[in-house]
Amino acid sequence: IQVRYYERKTSLTIANQGLGSLDNVQPGDCIVCFSRKTIYNITKNLEKMGVKPAVIYGDLPPGTKLAQAAKFNDPNDPCNVLVATDAIGMGLNLNIRRIILASCTRQGELLPNYAALQIVGRAGRWVLH
């Protein structure tokens, strides 16, 4: 077993308003979706805007998830936005600046607080070893 400790680089804050438009996406952003259909739609729209997103969702093979995470984390890779499901909360180390929830509902139900905190807690973390 390998234990890693993390320290938050910045305090976790909640924005007063939503993203509004994909035009407001910034490098380091992660847009969290709760369906592959939403992932594909958002990815397609970002690509039309010239943004090259990394994509991670639960059913991807582990090697593909790691490759997409590496692309997103690499400051020299043009892929600086991540579109993902809540799979990002399951052990991937990602250099996420800001989490954007595409929806506050999952499978027709309001996202529970504990699930939202697990997902948004992936932003602004720092590996201590």
What's the confidence (pLDDT) of residue 9?
63
Residue 47 in this model has a pLDDT that exceeds 90: yes
Q: Which CATH number fits domain 6-10+21-127: 3.40.50.300, 2.80.10.50, 3.30.499.10, 3.90.25.10?
A: 3.40.50.300
Q: Closest Cα partner for 122 from 4, 8, 1?
A: 8
Q: Closest Cα partner for 81 from 56, 61, 106?
A: 56
Chain centre to alpha carbon of residue 15: 16
The pLDDT of 25-39, averaged and rounded, is: 93
Cα(125)–Cα(44) distance, integer angstroms: 28
Give the confidence band of 43 by pLDDT, cuts at 50, 70, 90: very high
**Pair of tokens at residue 2:** 């390998």
Residue 129 in this model has a pLDDT that exceeds 70: no
- 3-18, pLDDT tens digit by residue? 766 666 666 667 777 7
What's the confidence (pLDDT) of residue 128?
43
What's the confidence (pLDDT) of residue 125?
54
Domain residue extents for the chain = 6-10+21-127
What's the confidence (pLDDT) of residue 87?
78
